[in-house]
Chains A and B, each alone.
Chain A
Amino acid sequence: MNCLSLKYQFKVLTQNFKSCSIVNADGALLYSKDLNHSLLTTTRLVAFQIVKKYLRPQPHDFFILNDPENGGFQYSKLIFITSLTANLFIVWDEDFNNINFKIPPTPLYDKGVKNEFVWKALIGACPFADDLETFILFQKNKIEQMLHLKDVVENLSSVKSQQAWLKATQQIFDIQFNNKAQGGIEAHYKLNAPNQTIKLKFSAEEKQNLKLFTLDLTNTNLATDVYAASHIVESAMVKKIIDFYEINDYFTQSILDKIKIILPPRSIVSKAHPTGLFNLNLQAVCSQLCDHLLTLLNSPTRKAHNAFSFNNFLTFNIKQGAQSYNSHINKSQFLIDGIEQLSNTQKISVKTLKKSDDESHIVFQITCEEPLELSILNSYETDDSSYKIKINSSLKLFGTHTLNKNDLVEFFWSHT
């Protein structure tokens, strides 16, 4: 079976998803993609193993979960698992911002038949039942569309094709591993609290014909206030490795098995937070640490004193009733379409809107009667930061803030 042909079969099968993994009955990863800001590669694999262990999925079963302490990411990030055939499963995640409660692994469809009891209990009881039902039916429809590709699903389910694919991706990994530097290197990042340091030792080594990446976080401090589950941190670091080695479309279990991640128990990077509050922050820190070490290891002018410096970012969400507007700003991205929508729907009145090559500045006044809720999801910490949010001239940091009629909100960010 031609490797390229298999790649395009996986690509077309997952075309309707931005963030998904395909696994076989053993849980071996066959294909994965993460095109969203939050990364869930290993989170999805953990979710699959939980469902496999406790709910024994059958073809056309359809499960949902979101519990951050049990294989989930955060409440609003719904993880779906469905069995396309007995040997082919897809796990994917989608945001539904109104969910603010825990959903344990739950079967929505049993062998393609709607589980009425679960629907009534889970969806019927919600204040936004109609929206949630439409959302879930949309997800189910994506699976129906996948099943139009009978030949592809059948072929990718076959053990022979899977073995050929895993073997090909193993070869691709070998090529790419040999193209980069080998050795070990380490760096650390101090969180804004005493005794809260993340230490990462990275190595890429070949011993006795075994090519292996080791990401050792043994010396990271125990968790106090800020922490996240191990699969959250793993997802971020694994993504950075496959990006750096340019093996995205070929990322399978053959490669995952070559990445060894050591996480001390109950540490900042291995303790599940009940709501996943710090997931984005810690993914950013670990991802950047990993990137820093990979770049340094492969730099011809590697210098030990090249210290790690964290590039901050700003993620916030403005919510009103069932409507939610996510925004993300970092050095290279300004995804704030939500503010435009609020302005265009006259919920806010823009007072200043200025953009230059170096900085942007927006001031708006709340004009709607119903309060808005502003949630800042990362800490940009200081007054000197490149990012600032002020409400009625008062600087606001991590957390949720209510915006009432006539409040004046100011965002500032520099592009450099």
Chain B
Amino acid sequence: MSTPAIALYLGETYATLGLFDMADTSAQRSKPTLKFEKSVFLPQTGLKNLLNQTKIKLEEEFKTAFETVPVYVVTKYFDRLKQFRLGGSISQVISKGFENSYSLKDSKSLSLAASQLIITLDKKSTDTTFLTQELERVKKINPDLNKVVISLTEDEYSATQIEELVQFFTKAGLKIFLCRQAHNQNELRKTLLNAGSEGTKEELIKDFTDVFGENTPVYFFCQNGFQREFENAELFNSANNFFAHYLKKQKMQSCAYFDIENFKFLRSSLSDSWQSPWGPVPLNHYSQTDLSVHPFAELKLNHLSMLGFDSSVNQLEPGPVIAGRAIKPLVLDLFWEELQKTEFCQTLFSSLQQDTLKSKITNILSVLEKGQKNIELFTSADELKKIILVSLLNEIKLFSSDESVRMIGPLAPLFKGLIPDKYISGFSWSQEIMASAAGGKA
């Protein structure tokens, strides 16, 4: 009897999906059998497209209809939200004198709540007429408003009053997020973040249910494994938590991970406070260290006309030149010759095999090289590649006293020749996710 299941890694720019048979006994396997696997570069192929392709494969491979196909997701997709102001469709109900109190930082920094959508309560009143007027006001500002964060203390408002508010807003069709420690900014931020990321989570789940049916169980990896019930804020650390789980399973203290959107040193330190871009959030999570070179950092001539790369990433789309559409080269493009030989990049960036694209990349890099004015400060693209790899290795050495840190991930082969081959190994998201899911469902 076959039992299909889907493992999905959903990154910020790419997704890798594996379709498995959890109960394939044909070869007396103890592990789930991989029936189909595919990676896509999200700016070019959407998640829903990948899911539709998977559905076709599901029908081909299993030749029978299934009522439900569980989906196990590890994600870094929510990191995309880190560069945005959230809270555009969220109203916040709060006591007078505590307006916008989730953060005392500069008002220009990342926001979790729109000040125009705040409903301020005064005189310990929850008068329905006032609430109706206020709801009309905020709905006029944003007709799409569909969530409300209620952050009132029980010192000032009784449990009954808060319940009345919950009922009022529920009746008005708003989803309720209740903060029970309204004067604790960390808790308030978490509640606002839960509300602010609800829309993105719902959209993802809708993609799965649209394709595989509305009863599709979707499990996201959180701190304690795959779960269906969780706080949305946990999704921001899904991939980091999974890495911690992987290290534990492999009995490794640390390792370094390289893919097209992450260069990371994995060491798994458990923390109860997440330093989010919006401020500290109380959340048990494992943190991992981003190495100082980002694969999506733009390659450019700096103000001194020297070849170099940005220290941060401004945008993830349209991605690297090797993906086919972009014209601004990224760090990743420097390694195009090595990447075209990897199976992972051949799947992800199919146009990389075209001669026209290869000559486009060569030309772009050549223009950058020749743009350097001072010959004594000159760096060739090949030299820059080596500087980046050596710099990454040095950074890893700085973090780890262990000389034999393993490099894992689809881009780990970039280090061939710089470290012994035995320290370089692959990493399959699909296989690891499914092994974890099969090991114990939460």
User: Is B184 a contact of A334 with CB atoms below 8 Å?
Assistant: no
B318 interface contact, C-beta 8 A: no
A307 at interface by CB-CB < 8 Å: no
Is B107 a contact of A355 with CB atoms below 8 Å?
A: yes
**Distance between A359 CB and nearest chain B CB, rounded to angstroms:** 10
Q: In the complex, which of the residues A16, A246, A334 contacts B303, with contact meaning CB atoms closer than 8 Å?
A: A246
Q: Is the CB of B398 within 8 A of A16?
A: yes
| B304, A8: Cβ atoms closer than 8 Å | no
**Distance, CA A350 to CA B95, complexed state (A):** 12
**Contacting A355 at CB < 8 Å: which of B99, B304, B401?**
B99
- The reply on B355 being an interface residue by CB < 8 A is no
Q: Is B70 an interface residue (CB 8 A)?
A: no
> Known contacts A8-B391, A152-B394: does B377 contact A355 (CB below 8 Å)?
no
User: How far, in whole Å, are A365 and B307 apart by their CA atoms in the complex?
Assistant: 55
Residue of B nearest to A351 (CB): B97
Contact B97 A340 (CB under 8 A): no
B104: chain A residues within 8 A (beta carbon): 334, 336, 339-340, 353, 355, 360, 362
Instruction: State in angstroms the CA–CA spacing of A5 and B303 once bound together.
Output: 18
B387 touches A8 (CB 8 A): yes
Are B306 and A4 in contact (CB-based, < 8 A)?
yes
Q: Mark A165-185, 1 if CB is under 8 A from B, else 0.
A: 000100110011000000000
Contact yes or no, A343 B183, CB < 8 A: yes
Inter-subunit contact A9/B394 (CB<8 Å): yes
Measured CB to CB, the nearest residue on chain A to B99 is A354
* Cβ–Cβ contact B398 & A4, under 8 A: no
B379 within 8 A of A: yes
A149 contacts B by Cβ under 8 Å: yes
In angstroms, how far is the closest chain B Cβ from the Cβ of A298?
A: 15
Residues of A near B279 (CB, < 8 A) are 337, 340
- Knowing A2-B387, A3-B377, A352-B98 touch, does A343 contact B398 (C-beta < 8 A)? no
B374 located at the interface, meaning its Cβ lies under 8 Å from any Cβ of chain A in the complex: yes
A172, B106: Cβ atoms closer than 8 Å: no
Known contacts A15-B292, A168-B377, A344-B186; is-contact A355 B101 (Cβ 8 Å)? yes
**Given known A2-B383, A3-B306, A149-B394, contact A354–B107 (CB-CB < 8 A):** no
Residues on A with C-beta less than 8 A from B103 are 355
- The yes or no answer to A332 lying at the interface (CB within 8 A) is yes
**Do A343 and B184 touch across chains, with their CB atoms under 8 A apart?**
yes
Q: Any chain A CB within 8 A of the CB of B215? A: no
Residues of A within 8 A of B292 (CB): 11-12, 15
Against B, the Cβ 8 Å flags (1 = close, 0 = not) of A231-270 are 0000000000000001000000000000000000000000
CA distance A210 to B86 in the complex (A): 54
Q: In the complex the two chains form, is A149's CB within 8 Å of B398's CB? A: yes
In the complex, chain B residues whose CB is within 8 Å of the CB of A305: none
Please name all residues of chain A whose beta carbon is closer than 8 Å to the beta carbon of B400 when the two chains form the complex.
Answer: 148
Q: Which of B280, B374, B394 contacts A175 (CB 8 A)?
A: B374
B111 → chain A closest CB, angstroms: 10
User: Is B185's CB under 8 angstroms from A354's CB?
Assistant: no
Residues of B within 8 A of A332 (CB): 106
Residues of chain B lying within 8 A (CB to CB) of residue A2: 379, 383, 387
B376 within 8 A of A: yes
Which residue of B has the minimal Cβ distance to A167? B376
What is the 8 Å Cβ interface bit string for chain A, positions 134-153, against chain B (1 contact, 0 not)? Answer: 00000000001110110010
Is A333 an interface position by the 8 A CB rule?
yes
Is the C-beta of B126 less than 8 angstroms from some C-beta in chain A? no
Complex Cα gap A9–B388 (Å): 11
Given contacts A4-B384, A16-B398, A343-B183, contact A333 B98 (CB under 8 A): no
Measured in the bound complex, the distance between the Cα atoms of B384 and A3 in whole Å is 11
Scoring B residues 353 to 380 as 1 if CB is less than 8 Å from chain A, else 0, what string do you get? 0000000000000000000001011010
Does A171 contact B280, Cβ atoms closer than 8 Å? no
- Is there contact, CB below 8 Å, between B308 and A12? no
Q: Does A299 contact B (CB under 8 A)?
A: no
List the A side residues contacting B397 at CB < 8 Å.
148-149
Complexed CA–CA distance, A128 and B37 (Å):
58
Q: In this assembly, does B262 line the interface, its C-beta being within 8 Å of a C-beta of chain A?
A: no
Q: Is the CB of B107 within 8 A of A415?
A: yes
Within 8 A of B (CB), among A329-375: 332-337, 339-340, 343-344, 349-357, 360, 362
Partner of B383, one of A5, A168, A355: A5
Closest chain-A Cβ to B179's Cβ sits at a distance in Å of 13
Q: Which residues of B contact A343 (CB under 8 A)?
A: 183-185
Kindly identify which residue among A12, A335, A353, A360 contacts B394, using a CB–CB cutoff of 8 Å.
Answer: A12
Q: With A339-B104, A355-B100, A415-B106 in contact, is A172–B304 under 8 Å at CB?
A: yes
Q: Measured between alpha carbons, how far is A362 from B308 in the docked complex, in Å? A: 45
- Cα–Cα, bound, A152→B390 (Å): 10
Q: Residue among A175, A355, A357 with the most chain B CB within 10 A?
A: A355
A340 to B101, CA, bound (A): 10
Shortest CB-to-CB span from A335 to chain B, Å, is: 8
Q: Complex: how many Å from CA A246 to CA B302?
A: 11
**Among A13, A334, A354, contact of B100 (Cβ-Cβ < 8 Å):** A354
Are B401 and A334 in contact, CB atoms less than 8 angstroms apart? Answer: no
CA distance A415 to B107 in the complex (A): 8
* Across-interface contacts of B105 in A (CB, < 8 A): 334-336
Q: Is the CB of B377 within 8 A of A344?
A: no
When chains A and B are docked, how far (Å) is the Cα of A231 from the Cα of B101? 41
Known contacts A172-B304, A336-B104, A352-B98, A344 near B185 by CB under 8 Å = yes
Inter-chain CA distance A186–B226, complex, in Å, is 66
In the complex, A343 Cα to B185 Cα: how many Å?
8
Q: Note all chain A residues with C-beta closer than 8 A to B304.
A: 172, 175-176, 246
Q: A168-B376, A353-B97, A356-B107 are in contact. Are A340 and B398 (CB under 8 A)?
A: no
Is B306 touching A12 in the complex (CB atoms < 8 A)? Answer: no
- Chain A CB within 8 A of B115 CB: yes
Identity of the chain B residue whose Cβ is nearest the Cβ of A352 in the assembled complex: B97
Q: Judging by beta carbons under 8 Å apart, are A354 and B183 in contact?
A: no
Residue of A nearest to B187 (CB): A344
Residues of chain A contacted by B387 (CB below 8 angstroms): 2, 4-5, 8
Chain B residues, Cβ within 8 Å of A362: 104
Contact B98 A12 (CB under 8 A): no
Q: Does B154 contact A (CB under 8 A)?
A: no
Interface membership of B395, Cβ < 8 A: yes
Residues of B near A354 (CB, < 8 A) are 97-101
Q: Once the chains are docked, how many angstroms separate the CA of A333 from the CA of B106?
A: 6
Which chain A positions have C-beta within 8 A of B97? Answer: 351-354
Q: Complex formed: what's the CA distance from A14 to B99 in Å?
A: 42
Which chain A residue shows the least CB distance to B383?
A2
User: What's the Cα separation between A354 and B97 when bound, in Å?
Assistant: 6
A343, B98: Cα distance in complex, Å:
14
Q: Are A350 and B377 in contact (CB under 8 A)?
A: no
**Min CB–CB distance A241 → chain B (angstroms):** 16
Chain A residues with CB under 8 Å of B280's CB are 337, 340
Q: How far is the CA of A175 from the CA of B301 in the complex (A)?
A: 15
**Which residues of B are at the interface with A, using a C-beta cutoff of 8 A?**
97-101, 103-107, 115, 183-186, 279-280, 292, 303-304, 306-308, 374, 376-377, 379, 383-384, 387, 390-391, 394-395, 397-401
A-B contact pairs, 5 of them (CB 8 A): A3-B306, A145-B401, A152-B394, A354-B101, A356-B100
Contacts A2-B383, A5-B383, A355-B104 given; 11 further ones with Cβ under 8 A?
Answer: A2-B379, A4-B307, A8-B387, A12-B394, A148-B397, A149-B394, A333-B106, A337-B280, A340-B186, A344-B186, A356-B99
Closest A-B pairs by Cβ, 8 of them: A353-B101, A352-B97, A355-B100, A8-B391, A12-B394, A4-B379, A148-B397, A340-B185
Interface residues of A (CB under 8 A from B): 2-5, 8-9, 11-13, 15-16, 144-146, 148-149, 152, 168, 171-172, 175-176, 246, 332-337, 339-340, 343-344, 349-357, 360, 362, 415
